[in-house]
A and B are shown apart, each in its own frame.
Chain A
Amino acid sequence: MAELTYNEKRLMVVLNTIKEATPDIIAGELNTTAAAVVQFAHLCADKGIATLDRTVTVSYSLSTEGEQYATLGLPERQVYASFQNEISMKDMQAHPLARIAIGWMKKKGWVIIEKGLVKKTGDAPEGADEVALRDPDANREGVLELVKRGLAEEAETTTYLIAITETGKALVKAGLDLREEVGTLTREQILSGDWKDLNLRRYSVDKLPKRIIPGKIHPYQRLINEMRNVLLEMGFIEMYGDVVQSSFWNFDALFQPQDHPAREMQDTFYLDSTTPLPENWEAVRDIHEHGGTTSSVGWGGIWDPAKAKTNVLRTHTTGLSIQYLKDHPYEPVKAFCIGRVYRREAIDPTHTPEFEQLEGIVMDKDVSFRHLMGFLKEFYGRMGFENVRFRPAYFPYTEPSVEPEVFVDGLGWVELGGAGIFREEVTDPWGVKYPVLAWGLGVSRVAMLKMGLRDLRQLYRSDVDWIRDTPMMQGGKD
């Protein structure tokens, strides 16, 4: 048998003396509440050392309205008494209780109604309900009728009777340790060594206390930080930049023609403001119009500076990369950023108008397309994607371009990001002498793969319980 608590023991000692009693009586003995005694008794009953009998009694009392009628009589009795053998309906309706009474008088057979006259049948004995009205406990049938009419109320009273069993008696006879239980140790008890003699309350060790939720960094932010750490470990410097960018940096500097579909209003969030063109903007104009000093022929046509000044919410972070290269034109450069970008897309499970993009660039003497593949393999490998393959691709500002695919169990080859070498048309205006390897990827896509998300909105409009339940580590076996 499980150990008894101090309170259970006290209850047993009292029961052993008085054998059986109500909780009220025992509560007096134990100097506690009746409710607490019932709780102790429950636990003792579970252990078979006491019994707890529960009796529910129903009692009735008159409602406020019922109390009124108790002295004056039911409405039908009052109205019945108010006329002789017959009365016209019209006259009877002058009585304030007529509306209630008429139905009941008919139902009870006290009157009949003929041609607008209410006639007594001569037979109106006292009913069970009227008996109950005098004393609600006197007539059960009658009182139920009154309950229906809202004239009486039913109340349940639960009473308990607690008794000791033979097992209980034997237990008490064998002797109980009645030293008071201690919950929390005091400084004195620890210092003096007294704690050894205390009756320390024992816990049910398998009973989980109320769950604690630690403060946490968002699972998506943790993934972003993991990616940042991979790149920092690989020797990259982190970039950060403004959300509002001029079309010049967001598009023109990346050799996106001014009539490119991606620049159209339905894809980009345009703003009312403009930004002056930076120094050396003419080099970008020349590149667009005829290829400038490179082997490019350019897009042809006339490049419009006004279009380039228009501000947008950045549609990618590549505009930051080219500005970083402008400020750091000498090799080696290894830089990255993870930032929020904006596209004019309606919200659904796989699209949000804002999302995080990762971007990395490497500029160095003698770097080449094969090194781009090397960086992609290394980065994806460190992110846990061991198998990477490459496919031809097209992006307006890289040449050659490549689309990395990673192998994911259960999904097969999954396209993950895009990469390439910045076109010379992109780098030449800023005095960059060597190839710039560049790659980018949608971070939310990695989140979907790594966290098994089906709905991107979960990242930005998170369910608190999802964050509470997402562990911070992957400590267990897969």
Chain B
Amino acid sequence: MPIIKLPYEYLETLTGTDRETIIDRVPMIGADIERIEEDHIDVEFFPDRPDLFSTEGVARAMQGFLGLKSGINEYPITPSGISFRVDPGLAEIRPFLGSAVIRNVSLNEEAIESLMGLQEALHWAVGRGRGKVAIGVHDLDTVTPPFYYQAAPRDRAFVPLDFAEEMTMEEILEHHPKGVNFAHLVRDYERFPLITDAEDNVLSFPPIINGERTKVTTETKNILLDCTGTDMKAVMTAVNNICTALADAGATIESVEVDGTPMPSLSPSIRMVSVDECRRLLGIPLTAEEMVAHLRTMRFGAVADGEEKVRVTVPCYRSDIMHDWDIFEDVAISYGFENFDAALPESFTTGKPHPVMVMMDGVREILAGLGFLEMMPFTLTNVRVLYTAMQREINPGLLRLQRPISEEQTVMRTDILPMLVETLQINHHRELPQRLFAIGDCVEGEDTFQKVATVSIHTEADFSEIYACADALMREMHIAYEIEESADPAFIPGRRADIIVDGKKTGVFGELNPDVIRAFELDAPVCAMEIDLRCVQGRPCL
């Protein structure tokens, strides 16, 4: 989640209150304080609230929350007369462009840092790592309109930001740190996106890097904003958030004509919401007027329309407001979570455990009664443990992960016994005897089912011991079974048996093959069993 740096002085100037009040209250608008430093705090906001990714945006929200200012801010727009043309050749590459002119900015170091922080957070949360949206801000007075967003040849050269020499766009992808980081976004296209001015000066190579020429400094008075991307809605979310943040810091916004369409509009949207629906969702008493007051606190525009409706004006930067309930949540936050009268509903219901869990609890009780300790090994494992070390064939239903995180965990278990023997290996330095069991989910193909396995390691562990345990378990589960000589290579020939239920092999037990014992670096006899619990009658389908 984005972590936003909020410098106290700038925040105090914008908000009009002291830092202690802000630190105290900011968590209640939905934020986690990460660090409190000498001159700033680092705060983590939720990814659905890009309007809180700047000091200006946080100040705007805090003013409402602290009762210093309420209702919606107006963002008047005048035409700049500046135009932008978009090359149709970008349609398959990066088709969408949003733009605006931001005049009369007064940028000190903190304001520039806030602007850069906002860009980075937007790149992450809205731009999905610059793929969906990438943002460029430029010193407007260094270039000449109109501007052209084009698909340019890859060998077009310009001086990239923070460099002194010209580089071609291809060279930038290879050598410039930003080029290396984001090359994957454009590498496969024949031509690259490029923004130029009337005199063919380069402003930007979206989504990679701006030109050095238009770098924004504390001297900058007027800004040209470009947001390019693959999703128009996300592009405009970025434009709206940057424009409103700078407007709240005192700048004026002018529109740019992109292929004849003026943008941005920064105009709010209107939602007519039901007071009763809000009341019922939140479970609090609420009049239309109270709801209006709460919404104005949260910096919406709101007026009551009769007693049961409220006309809400949603600021353009609130891209998270998708549904009426999103507005009701803000009412709840303004109402204060601590002021809710928490209560249980009166409906009568009866609880019921799931039959699979009941079955597993039963098996646990039996095996604990037989003196086994339960283990809960991972369900993710690898072919070596599951099959190779057990000298078994790979189960054709084995489920493999597409992109495992480590060599140890590449497949989903089809059996539990190998994990249990591995647990013995982990505990090889602990006192013997060790008698362990594990029960839980296994997967074959796409089907989840349950198995149970036990192991017993000590100098006298033998076939008779485990046979007696298997018999006790089957008797206590009340399942009739037969025994046949087994061919399972994990066990010693002549000391291994299959458990047959209704003519079908459903389990195996015996003395582990010493080669298996050695494969797990153990050195004492081990007797073991494993039973597929699909044999349990009445086991429901999942």
Report the minimum CB–CB distance from B126 to chain A (whole Å).
11
Please name all residues of chain A whose beta carbon is closer than 8 Å to the beta carbon of B28 when the two chains form the complex.
Answer: 391-392
Q: Does B377 contact A (CB under 8 A)?
A: yes
- Identify which of residues 370-425 in chain B touch chain A, using a CB-to-CB cut-off of 8 Å: 370-380, 399-406, 409, 412, 423
Please name all residues of chain B whose beta carbon is closer than 8 Å to the beta carbon of A301 when the two chains form the complex.
Answer: 231, 233
Given A344-B405, A352-B378, A392-B337, CB of A234 within 8 Å of CB of B351: yes
Q: Does B284 contact A (CB under 8 A)?
A: yes
Given contacts A218-B375, A301-B233, 20 further A-B contacts (CB under 8 A): A215-B369, A215-B372, A215-B373, A220-B376, A228-B357, A261-B128, A297-B322, A300-B233, A334-B351, A353-B409, A362-B345, A371-B342, A374-B342, A391-B30, A393-B46, A394-B46, A396-B48, A399-B329, A400-B332, A435-B281
Q: CB distance A392 to B333 under 8 Å? A: yes
Q: CB distance B446 to A273 under 8 Å? A: yes
Q: CB distance A332 to B427 under 8 Å? A: no
Q: Does A164 contact B (CB under 8 A)?
A: no
- Identify which of residues 336-370 in chain B touch chain A, using a CB-to-CB cut-off of 8 Å: 337-338, 340-345, 347-354, 356-357, 361, 364-365, 367-370
Q: Does A461 contact B (CB under 8 A)?
A: yes
Please name all residues of chain B whose beta carbon is closer than 8 Å to the beta carbon of A342 when the two chains form the complex.
Answer: 380
Q: CB distance A345 to B405 under 8 Å? A: yes
User: Pick the contact of A238 from B343, B353, B409 — CB < 8 Å?
Assistant: B353
Please name all residues of chain A whose beta carbon is closer than 8 Å to the beta carbon of B365 when the two chains form the complex.
Answer: 217
Report the minimum CB–CB distance from B401 to chain A (whole Å).
5
Q: Does A270 contact B (CB under 8 A)?
A: yes
Given A235-B351, A401-B329, CB of A369 within 8 Å of CB of B436: no
* Chain A positions 337 through 370: 1 when the CB is less than 8 Å from some CB of chain B, otherwise 0: 1001010111100001110000000101111111
Q: Does B434 contact A (CB under 8 A)?
A: yes
Q: Does B435 contact A (CB under 8 A)?
A: yes
User: Pick the contact of A228 from B353, B400, B436, B446 — CB < 8 Å?
Assistant: B353
User: Pick the contact of A390 from B128, B338, B352, B542 — CB < 8 Å?
Assistant: B338
Given A272-B402, A300-B231, A366-B345, CB of A240 within 8 Å of CB of B325: no
Report the minimum CB–CB distance from B343 to chain A (whole Å).
4
Provide the bound-state CA to CA distance between A376 and B412, in Å.
34
Provide the bound-state CA to CA distance between A252 and B372, in Å.
43
Considering the complex, give the chain A residue whose CB is closest to the CB of B344.
A374
Given A370-B284, A371-B345, A462-B375, CB of A347 within 8 Å of CB of B406: yes
Q: CB distance B344 to A389 under 8 Å? A: no
- Identify which of residues 478-494 in chain B touch chain A, using a CB-to-CB cut-off of 8 Å: none
Please name all residues of chain A whose beta carbon is closer than 8 Å to the beta carbon of B542 when the two chains form the complex.
Answer: 240-242
Report the minimum CB–CB distance from A425 to chain B (whole Å).
7
Q: Does B447 contact A (CB under 8 A)?
A: yes
Please name all residues of chain B whose beta carbon is closer than 8 Å to the beta carbon of A295 when the two chains form the complex.
Answer: 271, 323-324
Please name all residues of chain B whose beta carbon is closer than 8 Å to the beta carbon of A237 when the two chains form the complex.
Answer: 349, 351-352, 354
Q: Residues of B within 8 Å of A, CB-based: how many?
A: 88
Given A295-B323, A368-B282, A461-B377, CB of A402 within 8 Å of CB of B351: no
Provide the bound-state CA to CA distance between A237 and B343, in Å.
20
Provide the bound-state CA to CA distance between A369 and B281, in Å.
6
User: Pick the contact of B379 from A213, A354, A424 — CB < 8 Å?
Assistant: A354
Please name all residues of chain A whose beta carbon is closer than 8 Å to the beta carbon of B324 when the two chains form the complex.
Answer: 295
Please name all residues of chain B whose beta carbon is closer than 8 Å to the beta carbon of A118 when the two chains form the complex.
Answer: none
Please name all residues of chain B whose beta carbon is closer than 8 Å to the beta carbon of A346 when the two chains form the complex.
Answer: 405-406
Provide the bound-state CA to CA distance between A216 and B374, in Å.
6
Q: CB distance B436 to A464 under 8 Å? A: yes
Provide the bound-state CA to CA distance between A334 and B30, in Å.
28
* Chain B positions 273 through 315: 1 when the CB is less than 8 Å from some CB of chain A, otherwise 0: 0000000111110000000000000000000000000000000
Please name all residues of chain B whose beta carbon is closer than 8 Å to the beta carbon of A435 when the two chains form the complex.
Answer: 280-281
Provide the bound-state CA to CA distance between A261 and B357, in Å.
33
Given A265-B403, A311-B446, CB of A225 within 8 Å of CB of B27: no
Provide the bound-state CA to CA distance between A373 and B335, in Å.
14
Given A243-B412, A354-B378, CB of A364 within 8 Å of CB of B347: yes
- Identify which of residues 97-129 in chain A touch chain B, using a CB-to-CB cut-off of 8 Å: none
Given A342-B380, A394-B48, CB of A269 within 8 Å of CB of B402: yes
Please name all residues of chain B whose beta carbon is closer than 8 Å to the beta carbon of A344 when the two chains form the complex.
Answer: 403, 405
Given A228-B357, A400-B328, A461-B423, CB of A378 within 8 Å of CB of B351: no
Q: CB distance B354 to A238 under 8 Å? A: yes
Provide the bound-state CA to CA distance between A425 and B435, in Å.
50
Q: CB distance A244 to B443 under 8 Å? A: yes
Q: CB distance A465 to B430 under 8 Å? A: yes
Q: CB distance B448 to A370 under 8 Å? A: no
Please name all residues of chain A whose beta carbon is closer than 8 Å to the beta carbon of B364 when the two chains form the complex.
Answer: 217, 221
Provide the bound-state CA to CA distance between A291 and B283, in Å.
25
Please name all residues of chain A whose beta carbon is closer than 8 Å to the beta carbon of B441 when the two chains form the complex.
Answer: 243, 340
Please name all residues of chain B whose beta carbon is closer than 8 Å to the beta carbon of A371 when the two chains form the complex.
Answer: 283, 342-345
Q: Does B458 contact A (CB under 8 A)?
A: no
Q: Does B502 contact A (CB under 8 A)?
A: no
Q: Does A304 contact B (CB under 8 A)?
A: no
User: Pick the contact of B427 from A234, A294, A464 — CB < 8 Å?
Assistant: A464
Given A394-B30, A463-B427, A465-B430, CB of A340 within 8 Å of CB of B379: yes
Q: Does A171 contact B (CB under 8 A)?
A: no
Q: CB distance A392 to B29 under 8 Å? A: yes
What are the 3 closest A-B residue pairs judged by CB atoms, nearest first?
A368-B283, A394-B46, A370-B283
Provide the bound-state CA to CA distance between A233 and B349, in Å.
10
Q: Does A410 contact B (CB under 8 A)?
A: no
Provide the bound-state CA to CA distance between A45 and B245, in Å.
94
- Identify which of residues 443-475 in chain B touch chain A, using a CB-to-CB cut-off of 8 Å: 443, 445-448
Report the minimum CB–CB distance from A417 to chain B (whole Å).
15
Given A313-B412, A369-B332, CB of A216 within 8 Å of CB of B368: yes
Q: CB distance B378 to A221 under 8 Å? A: no
Q: Does B47 contact A (CB under 8 A)?
A: yes
Q: Does B326 contact A (CB under 8 A)?
A: yes
Q: Does A92 contact B (CB under 8 A)?
A: no
Report the minimum CB–CB distance from A283 to chain B (whole Å).
15
Q: Does A468 contact B (CB under 8 A)?
A: yes
- Give the most central of A239, A295, A378, A459: most B CB within 10 Å: A295
Report the minimum CB–CB distance from B396 to chain A (whole Å).
14
Provide the bound-state CA to CA distance between A236 and B352, in Å.
7
Q: CB distance B342 to A461 under 8 Å? A: no
Please name all residues of chain A whose beta carbon is closer than 8 Å to the beta carbon of B46 when the two chains form the complex.
Answer: 393-394
- Identify which of residues 382-397 in chain A touch chain B, using a CB-to-CB cut-off of 8 Å: 389-394, 396
Q: Does B426 contact A (CB under 8 A)?
A: yes
